[in-house]
């Protein structure tokens, strides 16, 4: 009888242990499930935030592209050519070398150089990649006087995988425009390439509201000039250019960043 009672007690104990284990197991499982659900909810929120950020970023970029396109369409000024910051800085520094505050204004002279570029096969637009300082002088004699220098520049341009796509000259302090005398020069370049461009820079118009230069083409039959819309290939706001020029100014006043071929 006593053994029977002991057996019943042992059985009850075991049953109780099993119930406690089951209860604990159930509680632990429920706790784990709750934690996983909480984590899942957090992860979902984080994922949604990331996706929203990406979508917003893409929307902003798309919006900017659309607005830019709208402005172009509204103004009718789709860029006909693009120019690099490198070319702009070379042209600006060349112009300022011969017309700066360390030189009496009556001794300021214009500069002239070649533009080198390539045609983008996708959009068939001209990309002005580089500029080659060639000479300096007054309004009449700012031209490339030495044929051998032109040949040297031509070889350098070809070596860099570019071609002569036009020319530039400066108008220090009196505006970016094309004169009647420039038509003869332009005609020579258009014999090399009929879509050649001419860039005129007034470095004193680089004031944060203007790049200080314009790019022109001419109709040789009517002898009329017209400016063409352009864009900078790199991200350079018009307000940043004066700071860049100020940065390289000490070098320009002392020694030019880029030498003409006669100075090399």
CA separation for the pair 234, 47 (Å, rounded): 34
Pairing of strands 213-219, 197-201: antiparallel
pLDDT given at position 165: 96
pLDDT given at position 117: 96
pLDDT given at position 228: 92
pLDDT given at position 257: 59
Residue ranges in the chain modelled with pLDDT below 70 = 1-10, 12-77, 138-146, 248-259, 261-264
Residue among 99, 123, 121, 120 nearest 109 (CA): 99
Following CA atoms 121, 127, 129, 132 in sequence, which dihedral angle do they give, to the nearest 10 degrees?
120
129 near 116, Cβ under 8 Å? yes
pLDDT given at position 64: 47
As beta bridge partners, residue 214 has: 200
Please classify residue 204 by burial: count the beta carbons closer than 10 Å to its beta carbon, then call 0-12 exposed, 13-18 middle and 19+ buried: middle
Half-sphere exposure of 157 (CA within 13 A, CB side): 24
| pLDDT tens, position by position, 34-71 | 665 565 566 556 666 666 665 555 554 554 455 455 44
Half-sphere exposure of 163 (CA within 13 A, CB side): 13
CA separation for the pair 258, 116 (Å, rounded): 15
Q: Write out the CATH class of domain 81-263.
A: alpha beta
pLDDT given at position 235: 75
Task: Name the residue ranges covered by the structural domains of the chain.
Answer: 1-76, 81-263
Pairing of strands 163-170, 197-201: parallel
């Amino acid at each position: 009888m006593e053994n029977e009672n002991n057996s019943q007690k042992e059985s009850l104990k075991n049953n109780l242990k099993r119930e406690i284990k089951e209860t604990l197991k159930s509680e632990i499982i429920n706790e784990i499930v709750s934690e996983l659900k909480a984590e899942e909810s957090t992860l979902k929120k984080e994922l949604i935030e990331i996706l929203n950020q990406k979508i917003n970023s893409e929307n902003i970029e798309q919006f900017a592209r659309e607005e830019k396109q709208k402005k172009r369409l509204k103004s009718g000024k789709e860029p006909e050519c693009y120019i690099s910051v490198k070319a702009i800085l070379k042209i600006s520094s060349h112009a300022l070398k011969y017309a700066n505050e360390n030189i009496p204004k009556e001794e300021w002279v214009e500069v002239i150089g070649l533009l080198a570029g390539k045609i983008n096969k996708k959009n068939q637009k001209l990309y002005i990649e580089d500029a080659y300082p060639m000479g300096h002088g007054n309004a009449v004699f700012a031209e490339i006087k030495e044929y051998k220098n032109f040949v040297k520049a031509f070889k350098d341009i070809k070596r860099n995988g570019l071609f002569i796509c036009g020319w530039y000259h400066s108008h220090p302090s009196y505006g970016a425009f094309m004169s009647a005398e420039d038509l003869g020069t332009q005609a020579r370049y258009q014999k090399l390439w009929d879509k050649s461009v001419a860039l005129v820079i007034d470095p004193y118009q680089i004031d944060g509201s203007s790049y200080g230069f314009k790019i022109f083409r001419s109709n040789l039959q009517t002898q009329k000039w017209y400016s063409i819309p352009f864009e900078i290939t790199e991200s350079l706001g018009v307000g940043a250019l004066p700071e860049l020029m100020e940065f390289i100014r000490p070098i320009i006043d002392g020694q030019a960043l880029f030498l003409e071929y006669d100075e090399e």
